[in-house]
Structures are given as structure tokens and as C-alpha cells.
């Protein structure tokens, strides 16, 4: 039934309207000036109302309730319901105006409220069960940009006639070298260095020695060298000693490689598995066991043996002490705080500077077993394909090269007179029609109800006709409210009619769901044609069963992020036949009315009554024995027995894949099409957005799609000397024969020095650069 009813068309007169109904109700009302509306119903209720100026609206419902209310001025709205409540309210849409909104419900509640700066306003959200509330104070966020500044002393600039010296010291003592190869690869922080010693003595550098490698630069006319350090605090990584003879003379060599302690930071890891999680997004129970962490039994005790579990290996110390994982709740955990935890607290950088936008993160896992701090963060940043480089003050720079502003930057010009070679490469492209990207919806808060639809099905069997009517709820995203993201059947009504067309049986089941879209229970009512002892035994369609089911879940004890059903309690109340002339233990003998009718016990002329009360309680408990196997115990209590007694008790094993992923239900997969493509004709690759929110994932995925079809231009530049001011992250503008050819970021470089200290000394440098700013390639 649908009713649209404006109340209070603007006059000062109080107005009121009452809507009551069983089953679905859609009501739209508008209150103005001291009006009141009460909307109450059983079953699904969709209410849309606006209240203004000392008016009052009360929305109450059992079952699903969807209410949209807007308060302005000295007004109030109360939204209360049992079951899932979705309410959108605004409090104080204007500044400096009092207002109050109260949202109260039992079980799932989703409320979005916005508070503006004003005195005396308030919002109270209370509820039992799952509650997700999003509230924000409208105060402008701080914003801005970061200047990444490289400054070089003029004594270090590469000019014609610049001279170089390479110097290696071990524990402060110089060790002469004849050649070096210095490599700063892409996507890492440190460098790799290999050198040939001038004196082929393997004992010159010990494993414990602290190594320092410097390049000295001397400009024409200068008195001495300006030294630039490329490696400090390094260690001997490897050594190769060769003994040889040529033309009667020894050609012994010793080649060493040095280990860069700065680069080694990428392998730093916590002492034991560590998970940071946002308690507002997931609970400690949902965090469960961290990857590579400890297995626990059903009572949450650490398990130090494999008994009963065929699950992730238990890692212990040599003395047998289990490596207990650490779970740390972090309020407002976000990319920035996760990056800070990893690279500053974990890896020892002084700070992290990035131009990648911040976003909420539910959890981040760090483990020493096959992982590291860096490995825990990389999935969060993968789609950005960022560049990593270090500042001189110990900071780590993580930059998205596509966000570089071409108009604002200052690039090092590299005309043809300043270089040896310039090689421009357009990487091999793929022809891709589209890309599927998956991302995680924010748990429990990103869905809105679009509406309901109905499905009807009628079947005939013998002389009876069964009609099944399903109410299917459509859910969407606030970002795209017109798009149905998923559907769920929330109510099913089955009606059976006899040969005469009268209803002989009707049952309705309404399901409820928690914030993770797991079924949390149901209410089922059954009406049946039975004798009505209140009406001389006349046959009537009476409610004979009311069943309520409540389901709880717990984390899977051996699979991270998975859950299993913990318990299911079903209480059945119904119409009860009592025979006062037939007693047991001094109480009337009682049976369900349907049983009494079916067995011919009902006699309107006898001393019999009917009442509504508890009939049966069924409790199912599930315990994971091994991965994929459960023990299911079922206890049924007969509430009609005198006294109540066990009707059935059993424990049965179940095999097969058991458990669900607490986050799988909230994963969305979207197909993006390339520009100009209307339908897919080729294989479509798929990428994961991980924790990134939808509004960041989709632009990045589109960028990825563009790059697959049109990869960024890459340039390799050979320099005639070593320009010590050019490092990873430096911005350069090489030239072609027709002039400047665009702005590029140095992603990697290499410098080679040979015949050091001789008149034939040669030192060169090669740069690997990628196009900056996300421009289209030519």
C-alpha cells in the first residue's frame, strides 16, 4: 500500500496524520509548523518526511525501516525500530540553530548525520547490535601542496673541464680503487656498488669494516675537490679474487661489492607479526589471526602443537615459546598513519613525504616471516606506481609522478651539447578494450537502499494452489544511487489455497542482515486453518506459529579474515491446545494446536482452551575441528513438556569448505572501458584496488587502462661525466634535434668509472627517465 500525504500546507494550524499498517508501507509526509505525524507498522516501512519548525515526526517499525528526515530549526525527529534501520538525517542545516536528532534502534543501524558549526546542536545515536554511524563537522580541511626542492652548489655542477676523483675508505682508511660501478635502480632506495681494488689484496677490506664511497668534483680553476658521498656506513657484501698471468706478468684482481645500509631498510621487519587495525572499521575479533601468525583454539588459547589443526604453521622460538602476534588498534588508521608506522617507526626514516592522497585503511599487516614493513605497505600504493627516493635529512619521498604539475616545476635542462646520447623508447603497448577493477566498499556504511521489487510465483498441486511472493531489496552506492549493486530477498510470503479458494495456510518469513550483509536472523509467522476454540470450534485462519531465529558469527580460528557461524537459536511460539480434563503432573496436557487438530483431539464441547506461548527452542552450535570440518551440536527443548525437557540432542560432523570472508561481501568489481570502446572484444585484465576507496580506485584504474594502451614514454640519457646533482626523483628536460622534448623524472641512474687515477680516466653516467605529469605520449 502506498500513501503520499502532505500535511500542513503552510497554515499555522496544527495538523496530524497517523499511518498504520501490517506489511509493506510507503509513506511520504511533510510537516510544517507544529504538526505531528506518527508512522507505525510491522514489516518493511519506507518513510520520507521533512520536519520544520517545532514539528515532530515519529517513525517506528518492526522489521526493516528506511527513514529520511531533515530537521530545521527547533524541531526533532525520532526514528526507532527493530531490525535494520537506515536513516539519513541532517541536523542544523543552517548555522547557529538549535536542533536535535535521536536515532535509536535494536540491531543494525546505519545513520549518516552532518553537524555544522553551531552552538547547542546535538545528535544522539544509540542502538544494540551493529551500529555504523558517520558524522562529520563541516570545517574546511587543511590543504596545499609540497615543494620538492633540489639545490646544488655551483662547485658541483657538470661543466666542460670538470674533473673527478673516486675515493673508497674502509673504517676511515682510504683503499685505492681502479674502477667502480654505481647503480641506483628503480623502485628501491639504496644503491649497489661494485669496485675493483688497485692492490689485489683480499684482506684489505674486512666484513666488519664500515665503507664510505665518495666522488670528488673539481671545477676548472678550483683549488681542491668538493666531495659528495654516495655510500656511507656500507658493509662488504661480496668479494671475488682472481689470480692470473698474462705475458709473464700477474693479472690478479680483487672485485668487491658493498652493501648499502640505506637500501637494506626495505628488508626491515617487526620482531613478530604485527597488525594495525582501525577499530571503527573492523573489530579485534574480525582481525583474527594475522598472516603467518599464531593458531588459536576455540577458547582463544595459543596452540603450540599441530593437534587437531592442519592450518598455518605455528612458529616458535628454539626454546618453544610461540611467536605471539600483536594486534594494535589505531583510531582513524589511514594510509598516512600506516606509512608512518612502517617507514618512520619501523624503518627509521625521519619522515615520509608524499603527494598521494590519504584514505582510511581497515588493517595493515607486517610480518617478519616472508614479509617486511615495506611489503606490508606496498599493496596500498601499488596502483599509484609511485617513485621512492630519499631526502638528505633522512626523509623518504613517495611520489606519484602523474601528479607532477608541469606548469609549476623547474627542470634541469639537458641540451644536446650537454649529453652523449639520448634514446627515446615507446614501450610495447597492449591493445586492451577494458579493465576490471575490484575494490572494497567501506564496511556497512557505503550502501543505500534503492527500493524493493516483488516476485510472484504460483504453482498448483492437486486441488491446492500455492502462491509465493518475494520482496527483494535493491541496494546501491551513494555515489551511484541509480545503479543496483546487489539484491537480497528480505521477505517471503507463501499462501496455500484449497479447492474452494480459501486460504488454508500462509506463512511469512522476513530475514534480517548485519552490517556485513550476513543473515543475522529471521522472523517467521505461520497462519493455518484450525478450530478456533474461542469461537465454538469454528474453522478459522489463525496464527499458529511465530518463529524467531538469531544467528551469530565468529572469526574462523585458522583462516584470517574468514568467519564461521557460531550459533543459531530459534524460538518457536505458537497456538497451544490445552486439555483441562487430561492432566499430567497436575497440569493440563498441552500440545501445539496444529498437532491437536491433525490428530483429532480438538473438541469445542470439551474442557479445552487455546493460548499462545512458547513451544520449542532449538540451539545449534558449530565448532571448527579442522580446516573445512565442523562439529554441529543441536539441542531442542520441548517447552510444552511438564516440565520443559530435551526433545533432541546430537553432535554431528560436517565436512566441506566452511566459512565466509568477512570482506568478500563488500567487494565490488567494475568494468572500465577504454576511450572510444563501447563493447569488449578482447580479453580483459583484472586488477585489485585493495583498501583504496572507490573515488580513488576508479581514476587510478582508468589511468592504468590508458597506460596499458599507451605506455608512458621512457628516455635513456648518457652524460659525459657524473652530474652529482642528478638523483632519483630529479626532474630533467632532455632535448631532441628539434628542441626540448618534454619533462621527465629520473627513475634510475648508473655511473661507471674506469682507469681511475690515470690520464685515461673515464667517468660516465646514464639516466633512466619516465615521462612526468601524465601527459599523452607522442
Can you give the binding site for other proteins, defined by CB under 8 A? 139-154, 156-157, 226-228, 353, 355, 357, 390-393, 395, 397, 399-400, 403-412, 724-725, 727, 729-731, 745, 772
Please, is 629 exposed, middle or buried when counting C-beta atoms within 10 Å of its C-beta (0-12, 13-18, 19+)?
middle
Closer residue to other proteins, CB minimum distance, 101 or 717: 717
Closer residue to other proteins, CB minimum distance, 139 or 307: 139
Q: What are the CA-CA distances from residue 82 to residues 79, 162, 440 (Å)?
A: 10, 81, 28
Give min distance, CB of 62 to other proteins, in A: 40
Work out whether strand 387-390 and strand 363-366 pair parallel, antiparallel, or are unpaired: unpaired
Closer residue to other proteins, CB minimum distance, 128 or 229: 229
Closer residue to other proteins, CB minimum distance, 351 or 502: 351
Give min distance, CB of 138 to other proteins, in A: 12
Residue identified by cell 587502462 is 705
Closer residue to other proteins, CB minimum distance, 1 or 406: 406
Give min distance, CB of 117 to other proteins, in A: 11
Give min distance, CB of 232 to other proteins, in A: 13
Give min distance, CB of 359 to other proteins, in A: 12
Give min distance, CB of 443 to other proteins, in A: 22
**Mapping DSSP to helix (H, G, I), strand (E, B) and coil, where does residue 376 land?**
helix
Neighbouring C-beta atoms of residue 141, cutoff 10 Å: 4
Neighbouring C-beta atoms of residue 308, cutoff 10 Å: 13
Closer residue to other proteins, CB minimum distance, 391 or 690: 391
Closer residue to other proteins, CB minimum distance, 490 or 769: 769
Question: b/e per residue, 265-280, with b = 16+ CB within 10 A?
Answer: bbebbbebbbbbbbeb
Closer residue to other proteins, CB minimum distance, 123 or 217: 217
Which helix (H) or strand (E) covers residue 167, if one does? strand 163-170
Q: Tell me the three cell numbers of residue 512.
A: 534480517
Give min distance, CB of 766 to other proteins, in A: 19
Cβ 622 vs Cβ 630: under 8 Å: yes
Closer residue to other proteins, CB minimum distance, 268 or 411: 411
Cβ 616 vs Cβ 639: under 8 Å: yes
Assign 3-class secondary structure to 320-337: CCECCCEEEECCCCEHHH
Q: Where are the alpha helices (DSSP H) in 185-329?
A: 284-287
Give min distance, CB of 771 to other proteins, in A: 14
Give min distance, CB of 165 to other proteins, in A: 15
Assign 3-class secondary structure to 628-683: CEEEEEEEEEECCCCCCEEEEEEEEEECCCCCEECCHHHEEEEEEECCCCCCCCCC
Measured between alpha carbons, how far is 490 from 181 in angstroms, rounded to an integer? Answer: 68
Amino acid at each position: 500500500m502506498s500513501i503520499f500525504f502532505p500535511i500542513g500546507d503552510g497554515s499555522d494550524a496544527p495538523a496530524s496524520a497517523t499511518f498504520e499498517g501490517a506489511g509493506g508501507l510507503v509513506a511520504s509526509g511533510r510537516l510544517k509548523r507544529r504538526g505531528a505525524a506518527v508512522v507505525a507498522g510491522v514489516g518493511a516501512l519506507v518513510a520520507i518526511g521533512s520536519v520544520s519548525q517545532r514539528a515532530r515526526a515519529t517513525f517506528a517499525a518492526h522489521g526493516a525501516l528506511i527513514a529520511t528526515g531533515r530537521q530545521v530549526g527547533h524541531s526533532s525527529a525520532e526514528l526507532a525500530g527493530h531490525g535494520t534501520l537506515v536513516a539519513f538525517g541532517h541536523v542544523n542545516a543552517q548555522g547557529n540553530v538549535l536542533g536535535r536528532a535521536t536515532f535509536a534502534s535494536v540491531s543494525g543501524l546505519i545513520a549518516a548525520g552532518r553537524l555544522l558549526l553551531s552552538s547547542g546542536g546535538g545528535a544522539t545515536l544509540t542502538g544494540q547490535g551493529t551500529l555504523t554511524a558517520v558524522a562529520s563537522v563541516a570545517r574546511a580541511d587543511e590543504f596545499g601542496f609540497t615543494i620538492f626542492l633540489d639545490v646544488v652548489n655551483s662547485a658541483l655542477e657538470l661543466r666542460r673541464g670538470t674533473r673527478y676523483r673516486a675515493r673508497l675508505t674502509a673504517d676511515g682508511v682510504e683503499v685505492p680503487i681502479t674502477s667502480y660501478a654505481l647503480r641506483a635502480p628503480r623502485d628501491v632506495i639504496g644503491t649497489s656498488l661494485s669496485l675493483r681494488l688497485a692492490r689485489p689484496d683480499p684482506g684489505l677490506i674486512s666484513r666488519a669494516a664500515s665503507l664510505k664511497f665518495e666522488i670528488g668534483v673539481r671545477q676548472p680553476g678550483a683549488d681542491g675537490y668538493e666531495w659528495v658521498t654516495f655510500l656511507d656506513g656500507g658493509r662488504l657484501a661480496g668479494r671475488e679474487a682472481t689470480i692470473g698471468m698474462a705475458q709473464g706478468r700477474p693479472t690478479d684482481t680483487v672485485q668487491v661489492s658493498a652493501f648499502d645500509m640505506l637500501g637494506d631498510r626495505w628488508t626491515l621487519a617487526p620482531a613478530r607479526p604485527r597488525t594495525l587495525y582501525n577499530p571503527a572499521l573492523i573489530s579485534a575479533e574480525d582481525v583474527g589471526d594475522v598472516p603467518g601468525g599464531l593458531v588459536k583454539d576455540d577458547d582463544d588459547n595459543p596452540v603450540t602443537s599441530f593437534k587437531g589443526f592442519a592450518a598455518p604453521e605455528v612458529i616458535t622460538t628454539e626454546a618453544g615459546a610461540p611467536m605471539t602476534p600483536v594486534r594494535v588498534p589505531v583510531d582513524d588508521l589511514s594510509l598516512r598513519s600506516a606509512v608512518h608506522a612502517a617507514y618512520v617507526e619501523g624503518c627509521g626514516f625521519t619522515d615520509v613525504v608524499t603527494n598521494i592522497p590519504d584514505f582510511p585503511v581497515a588493517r595493515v599487516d607486517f610480518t617478519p616471516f616472508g614479509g617486511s614493513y615495506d611489503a606490508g605497505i606496498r599493496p596500498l600504493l601499488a596502483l599509484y606506481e609511485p617513485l621512492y627516493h630519499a631526502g638528505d635529512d633522512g626523509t623518504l619521498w613517495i611520489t606519484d609522478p602523474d601528479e607532477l604539475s608541469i606548469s609549476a616545476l623547474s627542470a634541469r635542462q639537458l641540451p644536446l651539447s650537454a649529453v652523449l646520447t639520448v634514446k627515446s623508447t615507446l614501450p610495447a603497448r597492449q591493445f586492451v578494450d577494458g579493465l576490471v577493477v575490484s575494490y572494497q566498499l567501506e564496511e556497512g556504511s557505503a550502501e543505500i537502499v534503492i527500493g524493493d521489487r516483488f516476485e510472484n510465483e504460483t504453482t498448483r498441486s492437486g486441488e491446492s494452489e500455492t502462491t509465493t511472493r518475494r520482496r527483494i531489496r535493491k541496494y546501491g552506492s551513494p555515489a551511484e544511487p541509480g545503479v543496483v549493486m546487489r539484491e537480497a530477498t528480505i521477505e517471503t510470503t507463501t499462501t496455500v489455497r484449497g479447492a474452494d479458494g480459501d486460504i488454508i495456510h500462509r506463512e511469512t518469513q522476513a530475514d534480517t542482515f548485519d552490517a556485513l550483509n550476513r543473515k543475522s536472523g529471521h522472523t517467521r509467522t505461520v497462519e493455518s486453518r484450525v478450530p478456533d476454540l474461542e469461537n465454538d470450534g469454528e474453522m478459522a485462519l489463525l496464527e499458529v506459529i511465530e518463529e524467531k531465529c538469531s544467528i551469530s558469527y565468529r572469526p574462523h580460528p585458522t583462516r584470517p579474515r574468514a568467519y564461521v557461524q557460531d550459533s543459531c537459536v530459534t524460538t518457536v511460539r505458537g497456538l497451544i491446545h490445552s486439555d483441562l480434563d487430561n492432566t499430567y503432573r497436575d497440569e493440563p496436557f498441552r500440545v501445539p494446536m496444529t498437532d491437536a487438530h491433525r490428530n483429532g483431539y480438538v473438541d469445542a464441547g470439551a474442557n479445552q482452551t487455546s493460548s499462545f506461548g512458547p513451544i520449542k527452542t532449538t540451539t545449534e552450535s558449530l565448532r571448527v575441528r579442522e580446516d573445512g570440518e565442523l562439529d554441529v551440536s543441536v539441542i531442542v527443548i520441548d517447552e510444552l513438556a511438564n516440565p520443559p525437557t530435551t526433545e533432541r540432542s546430537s553432535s554431528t560432523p560436517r565436512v566441506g569448505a566452511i566459512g565466509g570472508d568477512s570482506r568478500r561481501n563488500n567487494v565490488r568489481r567494475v568494468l572500465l572501458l577504454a576511450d572510444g570502446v563501447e563493447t569488449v572484444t578482447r580479453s580483459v585484465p583484472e586488477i585489485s584496488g585493495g583498501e583504496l576507496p572507490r573515488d580513488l580506485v576508479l581514476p587510478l584504474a582508468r589511468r592504468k587502462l590508458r597506460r596499458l594502451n599507451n605506455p608512458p614514454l621512457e628516455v635513456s640519457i648518457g652524460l659525459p661525466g657524473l652530474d652529482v646533482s642528478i638523483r632519483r626523483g630529479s626532474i630533467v628536460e632532455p632535448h631532441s634535434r628539434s628542441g626540448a622534448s618534454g619533462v621527465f623524472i629520473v627513475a634510475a641512474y648508473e655511473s661507471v668509472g674506469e682507469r681511475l687515477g690515470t690520464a685515461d680516466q673515464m667517468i660516465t653516467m646514464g639516466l633512466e627517465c619516465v615521462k612526468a605529469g601524465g601527459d599523452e605520449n607522442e
